[in-house]
């Protein structure tokens, strides 16, 4: 619908019909369509000069499909019926054309379809009613052959011209009605169900899936790395059992091995409801696994992964897990139709399921090492922020799906910017390399020029002055349904080719961008252990050769050093606890200062809140839009405080103090090892240096000693979870209840109603925020504690390794003292063999690295 075509004549006419003084912005798409529908249906009823009671009932039954009892929309419907009847608008061609001017071709056809449905209620179409509909259709530019299809469909005729039937199916595709409302989408779906099915091409080729060759090749490399890891574990374990290496190396290898063994790519799919996410996933998987419906369908996070057998596990919010029969999967994963058409937020808010894990042995993409995370529609979800944060956690790539047949909505633009920020760990203005924007339903854009305009419009936002994405082939235009049909039927067409180009881009990114980074990191970690193992074995051989000997006095010194190292670990922990306590005090003071002026700042920002929804026709969506904008503004305020106060001042200063202390204690141990190396010819300082250099791996996002604070920029993403499930739903319900009946149907002072709603959202949102302070405090404590704990754990691990090296030295000295020359020679040969095995692992890793980095 093109609301720019709403003329002053249309505004004046609707003001006259409703008895209200309206402005162009009051005429939202649903209101315009409803006015047209009332006009056409009344025309059908009155064309024969008499109105039967059954016709009145049919009229109300049809119109009541678009509203609930006692709602403002229901009241508006009665005003329109009264006004159209009194002014006989249905007889006035000019007025009818003015009302219908903004309607798209699809919307006009849906409008006339309702006329035919009403006229054919008794399986016959009255001649006068048919003539009236023909005249209206002609003025609206509807093709006569499309009317023939409608008449044949509603009068149950069999022979229908297939080309015209397919065109009607195309025009009434529910995806064409995204600009209206879910209930209109459902109406279009029902209308199609009343017509004969469109003609389909016969399947001439077997169903075939796309083979993800590069991903499979990458998984082979990962298995080879895992095998190297396993061999390394065996070698290190053997060496540890014989006292040649410290036990800490076993723990290090086990940790690396777990990461490599279960390394998967995580691919998340995000977007609003009814954008074709489930159909896209089915096309990616090559099977109709995900439930599909024109109205909102998927209500929770679903994880699709490889398994040796079909298996479905429900994970509940209270921590329970339950395996359910495969046949129940689609039922569990689907929200009810009543909720989709009505109180969607309420059902989502009160659903007990946290996520559903679906395992399947035959899904090509999943068996290639990819886990797919399907999100519910984020525009309607009561915990959009929390859901987005959960879905994006540890995600390798994100597919953001939008409807190519219409412009990006403001909510979609906000979502894209939020996703970009979260993928970049809080950096707001950097484009994301792992974000793919996909325009679905490109088949609904019928002309080549139209497609070019769609592509330019989306790419202008995504790749413009403040780009959302970076990298090659990050924007695609597809028809998921057409691609899925081609896959299932074994046929080929341009839609399948476009889809395959998209999947190749995803595969290339996962394999060569994300995958190589994973492989390199794993190989680097394994080589670090190999190097320490080699150094330790060389030192063990020197011990067997009696090149390394320590006196009783030196043994006592080593024991003292072990005690000192333990003391250093304790000092670091005590200091960390003291600093955490100090940080909590500083946070409380800073937070109170920030909170003092928060209300005024948010009140000023609320003046800029915007929604395209009507306070009458789509009041719940208007409230939800305002609530989301309240959360957005609150999040911005929290992030600003988090960056300027918490991160850059409070944490930075205190972490610097802790980092200096850690560096001092580790340098002291390193210095003691240097002295020991000089005295008895050991290489402890080199082994410990490798571990200290690797400590940055544990300070992910912190920049090592003296680096960042490790909380990213989007602090609010962690804190907004304070809302608890149902936060938006609670506000929507509370605001709706608070304003119900406060303005009757002298209502259509739209701006006044919006201001009241806006004020109530602000009041209740702020109240909810204040009620959640204890939870916010707990979350802040958790975030701050984890930052300090990560550093303490890393330093403790290095100190534990230093102690293990000391202890291993003493054990080796004792062992050598009690062995014969023959035993020592035998062990030297054994050590030589293990060194060769470690060198072989290093060489194998180099070969794997060279293979997988060749593009």
**pLDDT tens figures, 592-648:** 999 898 989 998 998 888 887 777 666 777 887 888 788 878 878 887 888 888 888
Which residues 6+ apart lie within 8 Å of 68 measured at CB? 74, 342
For the chain, the average pLDDT equals 80
Average pLDDT over residues 89-114: 84
d(CA 402, CA 458): 10
Q: Looking at the predicted structure, is the pLDDT value of residue 701 above 50?
A: no
Which one, of 661, 613, 642, 721, lies nearest residue 182 by Cα?
A: 613
Burial class (CB in 10 A: 0-12, 13-18, 19+), 212: buried
What strand order describes the sheet that includes 370-374? 321-324, 311-316, 353-360, 301-306, 370-374, 265-271, 397-403, 435-440, 475-477
Instruction: Show the DSSP H helices in 351-407 as ranges.
Output: 364-367, 384-392
What DSSP character marks residue 201? Answer: P
**pLDDT tens figures, 475-511:** 999 988 888 888 888 888 888 899 999 999 999 999 8
Are 520 and 849 contacting, i.e. CB atoms less than 8 angstroms apart? yes
Question: Which pLDDT band holds residue 244 (cuts at 50, 70, 90)?
Answer: very high
> What b/e readout covers 655-674, taking b as 16+ CB neighbours within 10 angstroms?
beebbebbbebbeebbebbe
Between the alpha carbon of residue 467 and those of residues 268, 426, 458, 462, the distances in Å are: 20, 15, 11, 5
Average pLDDT over residues 765-776: 81
**pLDDT tens figures, 214-228:** 888 888 998 999 999
d(CA 290, CA 278): 5
SS3 content of the chain, % helix, strand, coil (to 5): 65, 5, 25
- The pLDDT of residue 654 is 92
- The pLDDT of residue 100 is 84
- The pLDDT of residue 720 is 53
Q: CB-side exposure of 56: number of CA atoms within 13 Å?
A: 7
Which one, of 398, 448, 439, 396, lies nearest residue 419 by Cα?
A: 398
Q: Looking at the predicted structure, is the pLDDT value of residue 49 above 70?
A: yes
Hunting for tokens 């249309």 — which residue is that? 10
Which one, of 802, 556, 531, lies nearest residue 674 by Cα?
A: 802
Partners of 398 in beta bridges: 268, 435
Hunting for tokens 């102690």 — which residue is that? 803
Are 95 and 89 contacting, i.e. CB atoms less than 8 angstroms apart? yes
Burial class (CB in 10 A: 0-12, 13-18, 19+), 383: buried
Pairing of strands 311-316, 321-324: antiparallel
Flag the least confident range among 117-121, 456-460, 468-472, 571-575: 117-121
Helices 8-18 and 29-46: crossing angle in degrees, nearest 10, is 70
Hunting for tokens 């083979």 — which residue is that? 211
Question: Which pLDDT band holds residue 350 (cuts at 50, 70, 90)?
Answer: very low
Cα of 206 vs its chain's centroid, Å: 34
Between the alpha carbon of residue 418 and those of residues 133, 685, 705, 716, 838, the distances in Å are: 48, 46, 30, 11, 46
Between the alpha carbon of residue 56 and those of residues 42, 51, 86, 122, 123, the distances in Å are: 9, 7, 16, 14, 17
d(CA 793, CA 819): 38
């Amino acid at each position: 619908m093109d609301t720019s075509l709403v003329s002053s004549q249309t505004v004046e006419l609707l003001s006259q019909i409703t008895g209200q003084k309206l402005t162009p912005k009051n005429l939202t798409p649903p209101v315009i369509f409803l006015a047209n529908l009332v006009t056409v249906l009344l025309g059908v009823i009155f064309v024969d000069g008499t109105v039967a009671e059954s016709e009145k009932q049919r009229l109300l039954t049809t119109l009541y499909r678009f509203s609930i009892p006692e709602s403002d929309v229901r009241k508006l419907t009665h005003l329109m019926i009264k006004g159209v009847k009194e002014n006989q608008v249905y007889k006035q061609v000019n007025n009818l054309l003015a009302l219908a001017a903004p309607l798209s071709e699809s919307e006009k056809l849906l409008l006339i379809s309702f006329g035919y449905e009403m006229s054919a209620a008794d399986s016959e179409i009255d001649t006068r009613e048919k003539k009236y509909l023909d005249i209206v259709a002609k003025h609206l530019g509807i093709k006569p052959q499309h009317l023939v299809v409608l008449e044949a469909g509603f009068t149950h005729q069999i022979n229908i011209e297939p080309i015209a039937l397919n065109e009607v199916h195309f025009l009434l595709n529910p995806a064409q009605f995204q600009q209206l409302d879910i209930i209109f989408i459902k109406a279009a779906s029902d209308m199609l169900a009343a017509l004969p099915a469109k003609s389909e091409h016969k399947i001439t080729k077997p169903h075939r899936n796309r083979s993800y060759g590069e991903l499979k090749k990458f998984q082979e490399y990962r298995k080879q790395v895992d095998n190297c890891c396993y061999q390394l574990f065996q070698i290190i374990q053997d060496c540890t059992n014989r006292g040649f290496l410290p036990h800490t190396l076993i723990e290090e290898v086990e940790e690396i091995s777990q990461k490599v063994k279960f390394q998967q790519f995580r691919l998340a799919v995000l977007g609003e409801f009814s954008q074709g996410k489930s159909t896209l996933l089915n096309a990616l998987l090559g099977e109709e696994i995900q439930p599909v419906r024109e109205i909102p369908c998927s209500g929770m996070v679903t994880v699709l992964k490889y398994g040796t057998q079909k298996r479905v596990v429900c994970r509940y919010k209270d921590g329970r897990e339950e395996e359910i029969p495969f046949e129940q999967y689609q039922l569990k994963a689907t929200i009810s139709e009543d909720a989709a058409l009505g109180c969607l937020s309420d059902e989502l808010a009160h659903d007990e399921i946290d996520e559903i894990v679906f395992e399947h042995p035959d899904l090509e993409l999943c068996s290639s090492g990819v886990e797919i995370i399907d999100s519910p529609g984020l525009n309607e979800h009561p915990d959009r922020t929390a859901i987005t944060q959960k879905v994006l956690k540890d995600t390798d790539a994100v597919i953001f799906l939008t409807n190519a047949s219409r412009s990006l909505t403001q909510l979609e633009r906000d979502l894209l910017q939020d996703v970009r920020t979260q993928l970049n760990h809080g950096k707001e203005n950097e484009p994301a390399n792992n974000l793919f924007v996909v325009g679905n339903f490109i088949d609904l854009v019928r002309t080549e020029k139209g497609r070019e305009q769609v592509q330019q419009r989306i790419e202008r936002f995504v790749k413009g002055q403040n780009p959302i994405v970076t990298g090659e082939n990050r924007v695609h235009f597809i028809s998921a349904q057409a691609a899925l049909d081609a896959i299932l039927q074994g046929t080929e067409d341009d839609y399948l080719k476009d889809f395959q180009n998209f999947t190749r881009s995803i595969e290339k990114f996962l394999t060569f961008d994300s995958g190589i980074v994973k492989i390199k990191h794993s190989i680097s970690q394994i080589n670090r252990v190999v190097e320490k193992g080699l150094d330790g074995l060389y030192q063990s051989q020197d011990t067997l050769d009696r090149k390394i000997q320590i006196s009783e006095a030196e043994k006592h010194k080593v024991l003292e050093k072990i005690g000192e190292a333990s003391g250093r670990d304790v000092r670091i922990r005590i200091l960390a606890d003291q600093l955490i306590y100090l940080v909590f005090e500083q946070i409380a003071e800073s937070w109170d200062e920030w909170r003092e002026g928060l209300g005024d700042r948010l009140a000023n920002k609320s003046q800029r809140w915007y929604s395209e929804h009507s306070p009458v026709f789509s009041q719940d969506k208007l409230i939800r839009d305002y609530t989301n904008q309240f959360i957005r503004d609150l999040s911005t305020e929290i992030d600003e405080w988090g960056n300027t106060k918490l991160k850059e001042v409070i944490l930075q200063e205190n972490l610097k103090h802790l980092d200096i202390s850690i560096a001092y204690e580790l340098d002291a141990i390193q210095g003691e090892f240097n002295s020991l190396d000089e005295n008895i010819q050991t290489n402890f300082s080199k082994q410990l240096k490798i571990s200290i250099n690797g400590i940055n791996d544990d300070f992910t996002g912190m920049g090592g000693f003296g680096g960042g604070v490790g909380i990213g920029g989007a602090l609010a993403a962690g804190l907004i979870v304070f809302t608890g499930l149902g936060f938006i739903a609670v506000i929507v319900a509370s605001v709706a209840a608070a304003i119900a009946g406060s303005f009757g149907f002298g209502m259509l002072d739209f701006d006044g109603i919006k201001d009241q709603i806006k004020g109530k959202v602000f009041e209740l949102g702020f109240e909810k925020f204040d009620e959640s302070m204890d939870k916010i405090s707990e979350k802040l404590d958790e975030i701050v504690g984890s930052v300090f704990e990560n550093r303490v754990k890393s330093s403790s691990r290095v100190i534990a390794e230093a102690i293990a090296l000391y202890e291993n030295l003493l054990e080796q000295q004792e062992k050598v003292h009690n062995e014969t020359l023959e035993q020592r020679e035998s062990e030297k040969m054994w050590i030589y063999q293990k060194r060769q095995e470690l060198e072989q692992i290093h060489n194998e890793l180099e070969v794997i690295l060279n293979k997988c980095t060749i593009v």
